[in-house]
Amino acid sequence: MDFHYPPGATPLNPDEINGLIPTHITTRAELDRWEQDNINEALLWLQKQKRKEVLNESFMKQLHKKMFCHVRRWAGRFRQSEKNIGAAWYQIPIELKQLCDDVEYWIENK
């Protein structure tokens, strides 16, 4: 695979590239297209959901899996490598819980 990243983009490490499901992808543009198609499917799934409890780790992982299940083997799981954006990989569960709690508070307190 020949992925050329624009400045500031988050590159995939070799393990992440090996975890891609479609084996025919050779460029970042092709990967982006597969991801977008998968996300569009997830949006349709999301519109049909009747759940009220969405501000939790379980739902977030389920949504992530729906968004990337046709693209990445690790869809629905927290990353295990450092990136140039976001929280440190080992802090993700804590940061996600804090974010969900914050959003719940904002909703309750308008």
Residue 26 has a pLDDT of 85
Percent of the chain with pLDDT strictly greater than 90: 65
Three-class HEC string of 42-92: HHHHHHCCCCCCCCCHHHHHHHHHHHHCCCECCCCCCCCCCCCCCCCHHHH
pLDDT at 2: 67
Q: For the segment 19-64, what is each residue's pLDDT rounded down to a tens digit?
A: 999 989 888 889 999 999 999 999 999 999 988 899 999 999 999 9
